[in-house]
């Protein structure tokens, strides 16, 4: 089993190396190469690739965090601290950053700072509350660090970057039409970092690829439990319910997706389709207009708007929209015929 | 029975992510069973590397297959392709030279990755 896995990872490494040669400006490829090197224990090479990813895209958060974890793993704690503190300035409510710094401070004997960080991590996310409670660190609303708990926390492996490694291998396999293997990798990722909504969202997406819709729904819902503001999670749920022809649920989730992502024209478009299918023309028209306000050149929204006006016998408005469309795509026979019919 | 447009749209979305197409550069929509697919047609980067002639042949085959798959979705009555870089003429898919602005956009998108 292990041998087979290594064969897969080596093959992926080889392919990503080739891709990185073809696309030397892709920071994500450098980050992926670094993760693969890390997994093989080639830390120097991994560091070089993370640094290259950050040179290409200095705001690449995954690469920043991975580099920090690499430094912790190789006991370059000062450099790691700088990275996580700098990230914390940008994301002060990120429970994971507080957790990592807490562990880092325990390892460097800075107990008071460790207590403060762990307290913050627990406050920010229920996952860390349970995490520290089961280890006897969080009791009655306070962080308790004694010799025993300190010793056990010192031994904790900060291997969330391995979670990211499995996540990326999972996505890679999914994109190459190997969903069953992809699911295995993504499950490993979710086990290593259960509070990461992306892993559940990705699992949901792979199940969606496979046509395993109930499983996809379950994973998208898990992702949304972790991050209820994950708007695309609601959109994905809506698409899955659409595939199941359960349009009432699809409508409910798409509304929520739009509410969370009001500037995403495509979501307004999809919501308009759901309304239009239910002959709720007024709401459909409104959504299409919103889509067009966000993206004036959204031709598809204009086509639907024209047809919607036609359905409501609002001939002038329908003609106006069709003429606008034909100015942009004069070869569109479908629209030309519709315009001729109502002219 | 007329299939709902949103159901068709969901089917197209799922079908597209299962193909070798870089669907991030494409728009698609459904109007009363008529499916529109617009934008830049490109294979995903995993399939576009290598020999130019082979890539072209593979792209043409992918286009035919895409059309067939969309037409097979229940409720689809017609498919209209409006790609800026590929056009279907007399049943044959032929590449179209992209204009300056479109090419610039493409290069910019690539450098943002």
**Residues of chain B neighbouring A216 (CB-CB closer than 8 A):** none
Asked if A239 lies within 8 A of B46 by C-beta distance, the reply is no
Asked if B27 lies within 8 A of A301 by C-beta distance, the reply is no
**Residues of chain A neighbouring B9 (CB-CB closer than 8 A):** 242, 270, 273
* Per-residue pLDDT, A149: 87
Domain boundaries A262-343, corresponding CATH code: 1.25.40.10
Q: How confident is the model at residue B43 (pLDDT cuts 50, 70, 90)?
A: confident
B interface test, pick of A270, A281, A287 with most B CB neighbours within 10 Å:
A270
Higher local confidence (pLDDT), A2 or B76: B76
For A33-55, what is the mean pLDDT? 94
Burial level of A102, CB count in 10 A (0-12/13-18/19+)?
buried
Distance of CA A158 to the CA centre of its chain: 21
Q: Which residues contact A4 (CB under 8 A, 6 or more apart)?
A: none
* Per-residue pLDDT, B113: 39
Residue closest to A9 by CA, chosen among A211, A214, A181, A256: A181
Residue closest to B43 by CA, chosen among B28, B58, B65, B64: B58
Give the model confidence (pLDDT) of A259-314 as tens digits. 999 999 999 999 999 999 999 999 999 999 999 999 999 999 999 999 999 999 99
Distances (CA, A) of B42 to A15, A276, A318, B45, B58: 20, 31, 33, 8, 11
Residue closest to A241 by CA, chosen among A259, A257, A227, A228: A257
* Residues A83, A68 contacting (CB under 8 angstroms): yes
Q: What is the per-residue DSSP string for A74-98?
A: TT-HHHHHHHHHHHHHH-TT-HHHH
Closest-CA distance, B31 to chain A, in angstroms, reads 6
**Residues of chain B neighbouring A332 (CB-CB closer than 8 A):** 80, 82
* Per-residue pLDDT, B45: 63
For A219-227, what is the mean pLDDT? 93
* Per-residue pLDDT, B69: 95
**Residues of chain B neighbouring A19 (CB-CB closer than 8 A):** 45-46, 49
Give the model confidence (pLDDT) of A8-18 as tens digits. 888 888 989 99
Torsion angles phi and psi, residue B6, rounded to 5: -65, -35
Chain B's closest residue to A12, CA to CA, is B46
Closest-CA distance, A259 to chain B, in angstroms, reads 19
What is this structure's pTM? 0.77
CA dist., res. A45 & res. A36, Å (int) = 10
Torsion angles phi and psi, residue A139, rounded to 5: -140, 135
Give the model confidence (pLDDT) of B101-113 as tens digits. 555 555 554 444 3
For A238-257, what is the mean pLDDT? 96
Element (H, E) at B58: helix B52-71
Pseudo-torsion of CA A273, A278, A284, A288, nearest 10°? 10
Domain ranges of chain A: 2-154, 262-343
Give the model confidence (pLDDT) of B46-90 as tens digits. 555 567 788 888 899 999 999 999 999 999 999 999 999 999 988
Asked if B49 lies within 8 A of A334 by C-beta distance, the reply is no
Give the model confidence (pLDDT) of A17-32 as tens digits. 998 998 899 999 999 9
Residue from the list B28, B46, B80 with its beta carbon closest to the beta carbon of A332: B80
- Structure-token pair, residue A238: 């809506």
Residues B5-111, CATH architecture: 2-Layer Sandwich (3.30)
Distance of CA B12 to the CA centre of its chain: 11
Place of tokens 């593979």: B58
CA dist., res. B85 & res. B95, Å (int) = 6
| DSSP-H helix ranges across chain A | 2-22, 27-39, 43-56, 61-73, 77-90, 95-107, 111-124, 126-134, 147-154, 160-175, 179-192, 197-210, 213-226, 231-243, 247-260, 265-277, 281-294, 299-311, 315-328, 333-342
Residue from the list B29, B49, B78 with its beta carbon closest to the beta carbon of A300: B29
Q: How confident is the model at residue B1 (pLDDT cuts 50, 70, 90)?
A: very low
- Structure-token pair, residue B63: 């286009």
Residue closest to B37 by CA, chosen among B88, B3, B1: B88
* Per-residue pLDDT, B106: 55
Residue closest to A24 by CA, chosen among A47, A60, A53, A64: A53
Please tell me the class of the A2-154 domain.
mainly alpha
CA dist., res. A216 & res. A238, Å (int) = 11
Computed from CA positions of residues A238, A226, A294, A298, in that sequence, does the dihedral angle turn out positive or negative?
negative
């Amino acid at each position: 089993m292990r041998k087979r896995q290594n064969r897969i990872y080596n093959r992926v490494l080889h392919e990503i190396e080739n891709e990185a040669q073809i696309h030397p400006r892709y920071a994500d490829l450098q980050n992926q190469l670094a993760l693969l090197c890390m997994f093989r224990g080639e830390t120097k090479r991994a560091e070089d690739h993370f640094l290259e990813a950050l040179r290409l895209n200095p705001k690449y958060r995954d690469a920043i965090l991975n580099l920090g974890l690499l430094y912790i793993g190789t006991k370059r704690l000062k450099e790691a601290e700088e990275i996580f503190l700098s990230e914390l300035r940008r994301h002060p409510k990120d429970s994971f950053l507080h957790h990592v710094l807490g562990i880092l401070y325990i390892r460097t004997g800075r107990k008071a700072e460790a207590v403060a960080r762990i307290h913050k991590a627990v406050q920010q996310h229920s996952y860390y509350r349970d995490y520290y409670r089961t280890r006897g660190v969080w009791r009655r609303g306070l962080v308790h660090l004694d010799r025993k708990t300190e010793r056990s926390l010192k031994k904790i492996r900060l291997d969330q970057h391995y979670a990211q490694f499995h996540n990326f291998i999972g996505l890679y396999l999914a994109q190459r039409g190997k969903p069953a293997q992809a699911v295995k990798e993504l499950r490993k990722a979710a086990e290593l970092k259960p509070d990461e909504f992306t892993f559940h969202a990705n699992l949901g997406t792979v199940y969606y690829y496979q046509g395993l819709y109930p499983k996809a729904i379950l994973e998208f819902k898990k992702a949304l439990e972790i991050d209820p503001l994950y708007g695309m999670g609601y959109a994905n749920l809506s698409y899955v319910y659409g595939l199941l022809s359960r349009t009432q649920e699809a409508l409910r989730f798409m509304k929520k997706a739009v509410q969370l992502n009001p500037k995403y024209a495509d979501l307004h478009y999809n919501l308009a389709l759901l309304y239009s299918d239910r002959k709720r023309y007024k709401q459909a028209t409104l959504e299409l207009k919103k889509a067009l306000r966000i993206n004036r050149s959204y031709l598809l929204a204009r086509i639907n708007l024209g047809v919607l006006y036609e359905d409501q016998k609002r001939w002038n408005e329908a003609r106006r929209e069709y003429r606008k469309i034909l100015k942009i795509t004069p070869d569109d026979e479908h629209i030309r015929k519709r315009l001729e019919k109502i002219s | 029975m007329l299939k709902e447009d949103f159901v068709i749209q969901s089917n197209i979305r799922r079908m597209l992510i299962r193909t070798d197409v870089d669907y991030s550069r494409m728009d698609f929509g459904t109007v009363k069973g008529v499916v529109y697919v617009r934008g830049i047609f490109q294979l995903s980067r995993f399939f576009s590397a290598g020999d130019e002639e082979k890539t072209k042949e593979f792209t043409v085959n992918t286009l035919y297959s895409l059309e067939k798959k969309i037409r097979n979705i229940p409720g689809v009555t017609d498919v209209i392709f409006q790609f800026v870089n590929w056009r279907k003429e007399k049943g044959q898919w032929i590449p179209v030279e992209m204009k300056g602005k479109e090419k610039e956009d493409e290069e910019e998108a690539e450098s943002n990755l």
